[in-house]
């Protein structure tokens, strides 16, 4: 068996499916202790709660887009580019830590425990951000930085916790349509968070008669606490998925074997996510600033309206990617999306001085570039990260991939202002085009080409691999716990059938 093999044997897919069918049929009860009806209801609520909670994450990720414009107006001397970058990056740093810590937590302690904790962190951080105060203005911004970091820990943890539970629940309810369903409850809410945050901002701004800036940003921060609280009850009541209760690895995780088995896929998902977030986040966070400078009106309301159009144009890519992911293939969709960065990045970058004089055209092309990102890597990275890795290490590998992505976002956000200052804003788009080319290459050589098969099949292939390499520990929890070598019969069958 080769160490870089993504499958135990080509023939093992059908064999594993045959062996699994009698015991794991969707027509049978998930276990003796949990009825099929109760598990199905929990899966449905898990998917619903994941989607609604990730709107909160999208809201928090995009909140600073307009807040940066507003704070610059309110505190022109104190809110320098350094402070703006620090406050914006606080969320990203928190997300990196949250993705790694919660990625491990949701594998060790269960999806439910991790999800409840991340919800609490978002609420606590949101309250502290709303109440940001200090003896000096700089002190207030430091409190805001810390509070946004706490929010980031929660939103970052939502990625592995909510996404893995949504994928596993969708696999139980609708395995053939798991891909589109997963996209619509993960990337769509995250992408919708952009125009949603701007819409809330504009409503609050108008309610404050386009003044009282401190009230506007504090109310917007406070509203961010409502969305996670609205689904908290459902999260308390949810069950861990059948896949998790069968395949969890809570002790003696064989990380060396995991790396040997998944090294190539990890390079693919981590590398592609780094490139995607390196482009997407700084262009999202500072898009309001870019539009404000391009319009030259100085109006916060005008900037917000153009920003709302930009975010809305980016949404169709999500729907198109969801529709085509099963037909065209996850890997192909991702490469097409990165190609959009190349095309639109070069168009905007090379013609920046001319295109920015026609504001509607600039915003449309800017939005199309974002839409391509949503269509390709935005949709597929989360989906592939939830499908490639076995249940026992899904949260860890998903969290690691997303954390590397957020590291790219933090680096991109930190580098955005120096690039714009020293090279010109056109280069922020040209660099996006370069990242598109590299993204295509990373996807082609390292990202696995998955077909959307039942996640149980990949779980059993991984189990067979562990047993074949001498690992024999308990897998699963509660009523579905068993030793890894229970998969030995599958391995023997696969070996005989494969010759």
Please name the residue that has the structure tokens 């898990």.
Answer: 46
Is 5 a domain residue? no
Rounded to two decimals, the pTM is 0.82
Residue 372 confidence (pLDDT): 94
Token pair recorded at residue 63? 């909140």
Number of domains in the chain: 1
Residue 16: which domain range?
A: 12-240+257-498
Angle between the N-to-C axes of helices 137-173 and 81-108, in degrees from 0 to 180, rounded to the nearest 10: 40
Phi-psi region of 7 (alpha: psi -120 to 50; beta: other; left: phi over 0): beta
How far apart are the C-alpha atoms of 498 and 323, rounded to whole Å? 35
- For 123, counting Cβ atoms within 10 Å of its Cβ (0-12 exposed, 13-18 middle, 19+ buried), the class is buried
Residue 148 confidence (pLDDT): 94
Q: Residue 238: helix, strand or coil by DSSP?
A: coil
Is 249 a domain residue? no
Please name the residue that has the structure tokens 């920015």.
Answer: 356
Total count of residues recorded for the chain: 499
Taking CA atoms, 365 is separated from 243, 261, 334, in Å, by 42, 41, 20
Please name the residue that has the structure tokens 């269509």.
Answer: 375
CB atoms inside a 10 Å sphere around CB 265 = 21
Is 479 a domain residue? yes
CATH number of the domain encompassing residue 134:
1.20.1250.20
How far apart are the C-alpha atoms of 306 and 195, rounded to whole Å? 10
Is 248 a domain residue? no
Is 2 a domain residue? no
Nearest to 288 by CA among 301, 274, 275: 301
Taking CA atoms, 307 is separated from 22, 301, 384, in Å, by 53, 10, 30
Is 330 a domain residue? yes
Q: What is the rounded (10 degree) CA torsion for 140, 145, 147, 153?
A: 180
How far apart are the C-alpha atoms of 379 and 273, rounded to whole Å? 11
Annotate 253-281 with DSSP letters as a single string.
--HHHHHHHHHHHHHHHHHHHHHHHHHHH
| pLDDT digit string (tens) for the chain, length 499 residues | 444 444 444 444 444 444 444 334 443 445 555 667 777 777 777 887 777 777 878 888 888 877 888 888 888 888 888 888 888 889 888 999 999 999 888 888 888 888 889 989 999 999 999 999 888 999 999 999 999 999 999 988 888 888 888 888 888 888 888 999 899 888 888 888 888 888 888 899 889 887 888 899 899 999 988 888 887 887 787 877 888 888 888 888 899 999 999 999 999 999 999 999 998 878 776 666 677 776 666 577 777 778 788 888 889 999 999 999 999 999 999 999 999 999 999 999 999 889 888 888 888 898 899 999 999 999 999 999 999 999 999 999 999 999 999 899 889 888 887 888 888 888 989 999 999 999 999 999 999 988 778 888 888 899 999 999 998 888 877 666 777 776 544 444 444 444 3
Is 200 a domain residue? yes
Report the run of H or E that residue 474 belongs to, with start and end.
Answer: strand 474-475
Is 4 a domain residue? no
What are the beta bridge partners of residue 474?
483
What are phi and psi for residue 325, nearest 5 degrees?
-60, -35
Give the count of alpha carbons within 13 A of 457, CB side only: 24
Taking CA atoms, 439 is separated from 302, 331, 445, in Å, by 34, 11, 10
How far apart are the C-alpha atoms of 354 and 259, rounded to whole Å? 49
Please name the residue that has the structure tokens 């592939």.
Answer: 384
Phi-psi region of 423 (alpha: psi -120 to 50; beta: other; left: phi over 0): alpha
């Amino acid at each position: 068996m080769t160490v870089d093999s993504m499958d135990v044997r080509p023939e093992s897919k059908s064999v594993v499916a045959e062996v699994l069918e009698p015991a794991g049929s969707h027509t049978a009860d998930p276990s003796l202790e949990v009825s099929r009806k109760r598990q199905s209801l929990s899966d449905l609520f898990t998917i619903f709660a994941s989607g609604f909670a990730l709107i909160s994450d999208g809201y928090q990720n995009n909140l600073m887009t307009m807040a940066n414009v507003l704070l610059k107006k309110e505190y022109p001397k104190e809110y320098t580019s350094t402070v703006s970058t620090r406050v914006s990056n606080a969320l990203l740093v928190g997300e990196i830590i949250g993705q790694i810590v919660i990625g491990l937590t949701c594998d060790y302690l269960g999806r439910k425990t991790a999800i409840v904790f991340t919800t609490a962190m978002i609420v606590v951080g949101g309250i502290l951000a709303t109440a940001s105060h200090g003896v000096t203005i700089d002190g207030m911004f430091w409190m805001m930085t810390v509070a946004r970091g706490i929010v980031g820990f929660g939103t970052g943890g939502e990625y592995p916790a909510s996404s893995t539970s949504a994928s596993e629940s969708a696999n139980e309810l609708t395995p053939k349509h798991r891909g589109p369903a997963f996209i619509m409850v993960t990337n769509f809410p995250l992408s919708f968070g952009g125009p949603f945050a701007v819409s809330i901002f504009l409503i609050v701004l108008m309610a404050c008669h386009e003044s009282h800036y401190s009230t506007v940003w504090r109310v917007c921060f406070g509203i961010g606490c409502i969305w996670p609280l609205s689904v908290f009850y459902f999260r308390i009541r949810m069950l861990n998925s059948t896949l998790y209760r069968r395949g969890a690895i809570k002790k003696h995780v064989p990380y060396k074997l995991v790396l040997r088995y998944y090294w190539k896929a990890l390079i693919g998902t981590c590398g592609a996510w780094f490139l995607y977030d390196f482009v997407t986040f700084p262009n999202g966070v500072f898009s309001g600033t870019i539009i404000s400078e391009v319009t030259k009106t100085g109006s916060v309301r005008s900037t917000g309206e153009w920003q709302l159009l930009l975010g809305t144009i980016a949404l169709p890519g999500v729907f198109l990617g969801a529709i085509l992911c099963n037909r065209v293939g996850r890997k192909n969709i991702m490469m097409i999306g990165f190609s959009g960065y190349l095309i639109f990045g070069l168009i905007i970058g090379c013609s920046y001085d001319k295109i920015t004089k026609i504001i509607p055209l600039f915003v449309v092309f800017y939005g199309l570039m974002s839409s391509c990102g949503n269509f390709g890597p935005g949709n597929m990275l989360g989906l592939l990260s939830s499908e490639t890795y076995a249940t026992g290490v899904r949260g860890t590998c998903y969290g690691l991939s997303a954390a590397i992505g957020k590291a790219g976002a933090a680096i991109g956000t930190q580098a955005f202002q120096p690039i714009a200052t020293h090279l010109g804003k056109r280069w922020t788009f040209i660099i996006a085009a370069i990242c598109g080319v590299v993204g295509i290459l990373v996807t082609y050589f390292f990202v696995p080409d998955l077909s959307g098969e039942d996640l149980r099949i990949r779980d059993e292939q991984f189990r067979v691999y562990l047993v074949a390499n001498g690992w024999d520990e308990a897998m699963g929890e509660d009523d579905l716990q068993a030793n890894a070598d229970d998969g030995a019969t599958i391995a023997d069958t696969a070996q005989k059938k494969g010759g």
